Amino acid sequence: MTDSWAISSEAEQVLQEAASEAYRREHPTVEIAHVILMMTMHGSSIELMEMLGGKPKKLRDELDRYLDDRPRAVTKQLDYEPALTKALQRSHSHRVTSKLAEITIDNLLAAILAEKSSFAVAALARHGVTRLALTSYLSHGTQASSRDLPEARIVTRREPWGLSKLWKRPPLERCQIIMHNDSFTTYEFVVDVLMSVFNYDREDAVALTREIHDVGYGAVGDYTADKAAVLVAEVSRRARRNEFPLAVSLVPFGAAGTGVAR
């Protein structure tokens, strides 16, 4: 399946090793569990899992026991399980839409983590390695777990601080809401948020979404501090629910350039 795709040598090696492991265990299909098991043995993915709070050795032991109990059947032709096939297709689509040179092991893991019915994905989640935590780290560099991800950042020219600390600082009369681009939050989601949360009409929502994608960020509007906090909390709630790492910042009005009063 991956022969005609642009895939990194490391990601390709993990998939080949997963197939070899399935064959060694006499499993008729290559499962997500085989792939994750192999990832726990590769330097970059081990480092990534540990960065997010996971324990690759414990995860490896858990997956090894799970795979020991899987049905065996000698076969000449190994197939991918449907969930793994979907994940591979998702990683390919993400590479194309994000204009990435190749599917990396990080992007492959992000695609796999969308398969909630997988035992291996559930095991990763118990270690704090969720799709939201991973895509947030890949997009914004945050090392927090999905339980601790900030809803927004209040940003000044000199110092960032958390949304919960806004009320411990001198109150800001008006704030500008800034949305930041990432390669995982979908175009359609951003358009919908701009229309349903910020009352943009569709034409303006599409235009601003395009600007956020092209420039890297875009000013949504100028609001009172109280209203901005409520709006940002709602955006963050929707993004979390859909497992998108959408980043939103609040900036004292006038500090981020041009503003759009709403």
Residue 53 maps to a domain: yes
CATH code, domain with 184: 3.30.1390.10
Same domain for 28 and 134? Answer: yes
Same domain for 178 and 132? Answer: no
pLDDT per residue as tens digits for the range 240-249: 999 999 999 8
Same domain for 216 and 114? Answer: no
Residue 188 maps to a domain: yes
| Domain final position from 140, 173, 202 | 140
Look at residue 2 in the predicted model and tell me its pLDDT. Answer: 53
* Domain span including residue 134: 9-140
Of the candidates 262, 260, 237, the residue with the CA atom closest to the CA atom of residue 248:
237
Look at residue 142 in the predicted model and tell me its pLDDT. Answer: 64
Average pLDDT over residues 102-125: 95
| Domain final position from 140, 172, 189 | 140
| Domain final position from 108, 140, 172 | 140
Same domain for 26 and 87? Answer: yes
Same domain for 13 and 114? Answer: yes
Average pLDDT over residues 18-32: 96
Q: What are phi and psi of 195, to 5 degrees?
A: -80, -45
Residue 135 has pLDDT above 50, yes or no: yes
Residue 23 maps to a domain: yes
Residue 261 maps to a domain: no
Same domain for 129 and 213? Answer: no
Look at residue 1 in the predicted model and tell me its pLDDT. Answer: 53
Residue 194 maps to a domain: yes
| Residue 123 and residue 59 in contact, taking contact as beta carbons nearer than 8 Å | yes
What is the percent of the chain with per-residue pLDDT over 90, rounded to a whole number? Answer: 69
Give the position of tokens 């110092």: 159
Same domain for 216 and 190? Answer: yes
pLDDT per residue as tens digits for the range 156-206: 333 333 333 433 344 557 889 999 999 999 999 999 999 999 999 999 999
pLDDT per residue as tens digits for the range 47-86: 999 999 899 999 999 999 999 999 998 887 889 999 999 9
Q: What's the structural domain count of the chain?
A: 2
Mean pLDDT of the chain: 85
Average pLDDT over residues 201-213: 96
Look at residue 155 in the predicted model and tell me its pLDDT. Answer: 38
Same domain for 90 and 158? Answer: no
CA–CA distance, 129 with 39 (Å, rounded to integer): 13
Cβ count within 10 A of residue 42: 17
Same domain for 122 and 13? Answer: yes
Same domain for 243 and 124? Answer: no
Enter the pTM of the model. Answer: 0.79
Look at residue 156 in the predicted model and tell me its pLDDT. Answer: 34
Same domain for 117 and 157? Answer: no
Considering only 30-44, 130-144, 184-198, 227-241, which range has the smallest mean pLDDT? Answer: 130-144
Q: Is 175 exposed, middle or buried (0-12, 13-18, 19+ CB in 10 A)?
A: buried
pLDDT per residue as tens digits for the range 145-154: 444 433 444 3
CA–CA distance, 203 with 159 (Å, rounded to integer): 35
